[in-house]
Structure 1
Amino acid sequence: MKKHFTLQLSPEEAYQPEVFKNTLLKKAGLPPESPHTFARQTRRSIDARGRNVKVNVEAELFINEEPGKLLDYHSDYKNVTHSDPILIVGAGPAGLFAALRAIELGVKPILIERGKDVRARRRDLAAINKEHIVNPDSNYCFGEGGAGTYSDGKLYTRSKKRGDIRRIMEILVAHGATEDILVDAHPHIGTNKLPVLVAELRESILSHGGEILFNTRVEDFILEGEEIKGVVTQDGEQIKGLGVVLATGHSARDIFELLHRRKVYIEAKPFALGVRIEHSQNLIDRIQYHCEIDRGPYLPASSYSLVHQTELQGKRRGVFSFCMCPGGFIVPAATAPGELVVNGMSPSRRDSRFANSGMVVSVELEDLPQFQKYGPLAAMHFQASVEKAAWEAGGKTQVAPAQRMVDFVNRKVSKSLLDTSYQPGLNSVDMNEVLPDFIANRMSLAFRAFGQKMKGYYTNEAQLIGVESRTSSPVRIPRDRESFEHPQIKRLYPCGEGAGYAGGIVSAAMDGERCAERLIAAYANQAR
């Protein structure tokens, strides 16, 4: 017999397995520790709106019955060693899932990645943090797994119409993620576990006949008329296939420049830019969980989501939190020397004493009149100019410019800065001199408003660390709504965050699958 329950539990009841089981047995009218019973949660979310935090749980209780599997996914990977190939440029979530889907459909993926495999990539990350050396091909953005590998690993997405979210989650579980991601309302994996998972995805691709070329940078396209036939690498090698899934991520500026140079149609795209805000995790917990000392042993590190609409000079722009990392770290995410970019990541346990979040302002193309001369690369050049200003303000290393929050609003250089999770270090500056006026002014308005929404958030016990500029791609590579094919170049399938069609691990993975499906449906049968 299987019984379903919808419960509102205390954190101890929800997060302690034995306590949870006995609570469920009591709800079912059975004595504690009843034999031949199995209890599990199928959905879990935290409700912190009241003074006492509750956890909403959907659960199943099996009595004298074996529980069915929570994981339904069964891989249908074929051996594609001798099949016709498609090319996938970029081994982030979009590229990896495009490759897996190609294998399921009987087509050989050749995955081309400019960076290193996930293990070798670590040395270059250490060099950024400790020696301030940025390798343009191997960093927090480029390399196996893309920017998502060294992130919080958040898997929450609103893109329910873009594909089967559950399918993506189950593929991740099949490759090493815990089943908790199938249960939690806002699941995450953690940066300490993502590299192992990425390596397992790679093994599935290779063991079924796919190819992965690391340290291979695409420097040109093989264009014949209005069709793409393949790519040319930095060594001059030509690699050809049935078509190209272009999944290079939001930071591949050389690809955007190549497209523009080859007169492949692209568009400037609005994006968002700002800073990372760092508080102590304990402060955020006390605000969100209404606790006086700490959150206790059962609740996870708390998060927040903030948005405020500002109006200046007749223009309305949103200021919002982005990629909030509870119990996390701020990391240097530059992809070339002479620029400074920050991002956030969290380990699976989210046990750092710091909380950080991107705090960014919407940037529309009309905000950038002096950059219009760059045409479709206007927003990209604006983004780069701010990153260069941050690099100069930090001292022309990976030391980041920073300022306490209230000092920023009052335009006062902070006499001292707080402890930080950002390993390369901080330099106290007036961030109003680093950020463009239209961004700094809107952020000042928003911080005061956020202090009203979250009492204690607006404080000099928090600091701005800049700049957070890689929120999304500043360029869109257009595609047809139905076919996903580029409207000008046949067999070219722009994909994922870099093309402007995704925003996170899950949405990029779903987009990768769809692009592979469309390419194969259109051209694989012709080859056969």
Structure 2
Amino acid sequence: MKKNLTLQLSPEEAYDPEVFKNTVLKKSGLSPETPHSFARQIRRSIDARGRKVIVNVEAELFLNENPGSLLDHFPEYQDVHHSEPIIIIGAGPAGLFAALRAIELGVKPIVIERGKDVRARRRDLAAINKEGIVNPDSNYCFGEGGAGTYSDGKLYTRSKKRGDIRRIMEILVAHGATEEILVDAHPHIGTNKLPILVAKLRESILEAGGEILFETRVEDFLIENEEIKGVKTQDGETIKGLGVILATGHSARDIFMLLDAKKVYIEAKPFALGVRIEHSQNLIDKIQYHCEIDRGPYLPAAAYSLVQQTEYQGKQRGVFSFCMCPGGFIVPAATSPGELVVNGMSPSRRDSKFANSGMVVSVELEDLPQYQKYGALSAMHFQAEVEQRAWEIGGKNQTAPAQRMVDFVNRKVSSSLLDTSYQPGLNSVEMREVLPDFISARMAMAFKAFGQKMKGYFTNDAQLIGVESRTSSPVRIPRDRESFEHPQIKRLYPCGEGAGYAGGIVSAAMDGERCAEKLIAAYVKK
């Protein structure tokens, strides 16, 4: 017998497995000693709006019955060793899931990745953290798994229009993620577990007969009569296929420049730019959970989401939190020497004493009149100049410019900075020297408003660390709404965050699957 229950539980009842089972049995009118009983959660979300934190749980109780698996989708990968190939540029979530979907459909993927495999990539991350050395082909953005590998691994997405979210989640579980990601309303995997999962995705591709070429950078597109035939790599090797899925991520500026130079149609795209805000996790817990000391042993590290409309020089723009990392770390995410970029990540336990979040301002193309001379690359050049200025003002290494929050609003250089999770270290500066006026003015307005929404958020016990500039691609590579094919170049399928069609691991994975399906439907013989 199976019974479904909708429950409102305390944190202990929801997160302690033994207490949870006993609670379910009791609410079902049964004894905790009931034999052959099994209880599990199928959906869980935290409601911290009241003074007392409640966990909303949908549960299943099984009596004398095998509960079976939570998985509905078990991927089956065909042998594609001798199948016709398609080319996938980039081994981030979009590229990897495009490859897996191609294999399911009987087509051989050749994945070209400029960076290293996930294990070798670690050495380059250590170099940028400890020595400030940026490898332009292997860093926090480039390499196996893309930027998502070394991130919080957030899997929550509102993008339901281009794919099946549950299917993506179940493929991740089949490759090593815990079933918890199928249960939590805001699931995440954690930067310590993502590399293992990414390596298993690679194994599935290779075992089925797909190819992955690491440390292979695309330097030219082979285009004839407005149709892409293949690519040329940095070694002069030519690789051809039935079509090309371009899934390079939001930081592949050389690819954007190559497309522009070859007169392939691309366009400038609005994005967002700002800083990382770092508080103590204990402070965020106290604000969000209304606790006096700490959140206790059961609740996860608290997150937040903030947005505020601001008006500056007659223009309305949003200021919003982005990629909030509870119990996390701030890391250097530059992709070229001479620039400074920061990003956030969290381990699976989210047990760092710091909470960080991007705090960014919407940048519209009309905000950048002096960059219009760059055409489709106008927003990209603006982004790059801010990153270069941050590098110079930070000290011409990976030391990040920083300022306490209230000091920033009051235009005061901080006499001292707080402890930080950012390993290369901080340099106290006036952040208005780093950020454009229209960015810093809007952030100063928003911080005061956020202090009203979250009492205690606006404090000098928090600091701005800059810059957070890789929120999304500053370039869109257009594609047909129905076919997903580039409107000018046949057999070219722009994909994922780098093309402007996704914003996170799950939406990028879904977009990768759809691009593979569209390409194969159009060009692979049945």
Q: How does 1:483-502 map onto structure 2 within 5 Å? A: 483-502=483-502
Match of 1:176, SS?
Answer: coil
Tell me the distance in 2 between the aligned counterparts of 1:319 and 1:74: 41
Gapped regions of structure 1 (runs ≥ 5): none
Cα deviations by residue, 1:36-78 (Å, 9 ceiling, x for unpaired): 1010000000000000101000000001111121011112210
The residue number in structure 2 matching 1:210 is: 210
Structure 2 match to 1:272: 272
- Which residue is equivalent to 1:287? 287
**Alignment correspondent of 2:155:** 155
> In the TM superposition, what whole-angstrom CA distance separates every residue of 1:326-378 from its partner, at most 9, and x where no partner exists?
00000000000000000000000000000000000000000000100000000
* Structure 1 Cα separation of the partners of residues 96 and 329 of structure 2: 26
Identity over the aligned pairs, expressed in percent? 86
Give, in whole Å, the separation in 2 of the partners of 1:3 and 1:393. 62
- Return the letter of the residue paired with 2:358: G
Distance 1:504 1:479 in 2: 19
Partner of 1:124: 124
**Distance in 2 of aligned mates of 1:490 and 1:184:** 41
Name the counterpart of 2:466. 466
Q: Which moved more, 1:192-201 or 1:155-164?
A: 155-164
Task: Name 1:369's counterpart in structure 2.
Answer: 369
- Which secondary structure state, in structure 2, belongs to the residue aligned with residue 43 of structure 1? strand
For 2:302 and 2:238, the matched residues in 1 are separated by 50
Q: Which position in structure 2 is the counterpart of 1:439? A: 439
**More displaced, 107-116 or 63-72?**
63-72
1:386 partner amino acid: V
TM-score (norm 2): 1.00
Aligned match of 1:357? 357
Paired with 1:123 and 1:222, the residues of 2 have a C-alpha distance of: 33
Counterparts of 1:487 and 1:86, CA distance in 2: 19
Residue 229 of structure 1, CA deviation: 0.2
How far residue 431 of structure 1 moved from its aligned partner, in angstroms, is 0.2
- Cα offset, 1:162, TM superposition: 1.4
Opposite residue 328 of structure 1, the aligned amino acid is: G
User: In 2, Cα distance between the equivalents of 1:136 and 1:69?
Assistant: 43
How many angstroms apart in 1 are the aligned matches of 2:238 and 2:264? Answer: 19
Cα separation, 1, equivalents of 2:299 and 2:352? 15
Q: 1:312 & 1:402 partners in 2: Cα distance?
A: 24
One-letter amino acid matched to 1:251: S
- Matched to 2:210, the amino acid is G
Q: Name the CA distance, whole Å, in 1 between partners of 2:64 and 2:209.
A: 44
Correspondence for 1:34: 34
1:17-416 equivalences in 2 (<5 Å) = 17-416=17-416
Counterpart AA for 2:38? F
State the distance in 1 between where 2:351 and 2:198 align: 22
* Partner amino acid, structure 2, of 1:274: G
The amino acid across from 1:202 in the alignment is R
CA distance, structure 2, for counterparts of residue 189 and residue 5 of structure 1: 27
339-348 vs 72-81, which deviates more?
Answer: 72-81
Q: What displacement does 1:13 show?
A: 0.2
Q: Distance in 2 between matches of 1:74 and 1:250?
A: 31
Q: Quick one: which amino acid aligns to residue 19 of structure 1?
A: V
Deviation of residue 208 (structure 1)? 0.3
Count of matched residue pairs = 526
**Residues 392-438 of structure 1, C-alpha deviation per residue, up to 9 Å, x if partnerless?**
01100000000000000000000000000000000000001110000
User: What amino acid maps onto 2:46 in structure 1?
Assistant: I
Q: Distance in 2 between matches of 1:461 and 1:357?
A: 15
SS, match of residue 524 in structure 2: helix
Alignment deviations for residues 257-310 of structure 1 (CA, whole Å, 9 cap, x no partner)? 000000000000000000000000000000000000000000000000000000
Q: Which consecutive segments of 4 or more residues in structure 1 shift more than 6 A?
A: none
Alignment of 1:448-459 (within 5 A): 448-459=448-459
CA distance in 2 between partners of 1:253 and 1:513 (Å): 24
Q: Distance in 2 between matches of 1:161 and 1:239?
A: 33
Instruction: Name stretches of at least 5 consecutive residues in structure 2 with no aligned partner.
Output: none
Separation (CA, whole Å) in 1 of partners of 2:403 and 2:195: 33
Give the letter aligned to residue 353 of structure 1: K
Give the letter aligned to residue 267 of structure 1: E
Letter in 1 for 2:483: S
Shift of 1:314: 1.3
Q: Normalising to structure 1: TM-score of the pair? A: 0.99
Q: For structure 1, which segment, 343-352 or 70-79, has the greater mean C-alpha deviation from structure 2 after superposition?
A: 70-79
Letter paired with 2:253 = R
The letter for the 2-side match of 1:25 is: L
1:447 maps to a residue whose letter is F
Q: In structure 2, what residue type is equivalent to 1:324?
A: M
Structure-2 separation of matches of 1:84 and 1:168: 25
Aligned residue type for 1:120: A
Amino acid at match of 1:519: L
Deviation, structure 1 residue 33: 2.6
Deviations 1:233-258 (A, max 9, x none): 00000000000000000000000000
What is the identity, as a one-letter code, of the residue corresponding to 1:117? D
Could you say what secondary structure the match of 1:100 adopts? Answer: helix
Q: Which residue of 2 aligns with 1:475?
A: 475
Shift of 1:315: 0.4
Task: Name the SS for the 1:161 alignment partner.
Answer: coil
Query: Which whole-Å CA distance do the structure 2 matches of 1:33 and 1:334 have between them?
Result: 57
